[in-house]
Amino acid sequence: MRTRRATQHDAARISALIHSFTTDGTLLPRSEAFVSTHADHFIVAEDEGQVVGCVHLDEYAPSLSELRSLAVDPAAQGKGAGRALVLATEALARKRGASTLFAVSNDEAFFNRFGFVARHIPELDRERSEVSRYKGVFAKDLAV
């Protein structure tokens, strides 16, 4: 299992991975065009040369970044891709100067494992959609 920064060539696969978790509202859809435009902010996990997972690092505000669109192919889950993607996202966020990384998710137990804890993020209030309003916000301060 390894991670690498995405390129525009990964856009179709990333969009499809995210799409498979949109029907129950777990993730918001991301079009291939969106991913292609923002490819520099996506990271993929590869297993035996195949892209099996993805994540989006969204620079939400100065020094505040959001981990979004974390998805691992069900056939590849439980093998460390999710962990590798979270750690790679933290490393990229730190490199880009973020001091706090947060995620909006229903999966508190997963994010707790990585030191994210429920926190009110005031910057989020003005933009939270009806969907994300019912999820939790989990944040982690990043050591510089």
Q: Among residues 19, 59, 91, 110, which is the contact residue for ligand COA, using CB under 6 A?
A: 110
Residue 46 found at the interface with ligand COA (CB under 6 A): no
Q: Among residues 24, 109, 120, 143, which is the contact residue for ligand COA, using CB under 6 A?
A: 109
Measured between alpha carbons, how far is 83 from 107 in angstroms, rounded to an integer?
Answer: 14
Cα distances from 50 to residues 75, 96, 129, in angstroms, run 12, 27, 33
Residue 88 found at the interface with ligand COA (CB under 6 A): no
Residue 82 found at the interface with ligand COA (CB under 6 A): yes
Residue 119 found at the interface with ligand COA (CB under 6 A): no
The DSSP code for 103 is E
97 residue type, one letter: G
Per rule CB under 6 A, count of chain residues that contact ligand COA: 19
User: How far apart are CB 91 and ligand COA at their closest, in Å?
Assistant: 15
Which among 65, 88, 130, 75 is positioned nearest to 3, based on CA atoms?
A: 88
Q: What sections of the chain are H helices per DSSP?
A: 11-19, 32-37, 81-95, 108-113
Q: Among residues 81, 92, 98, 124, which is the contact residue for ligand COA, using CB under 6 A?
A: 81
Instruction: Give the residue with the Cβ less far from ligand COA, 36 or 89.
Output: 89
34 residue type, one letter: F
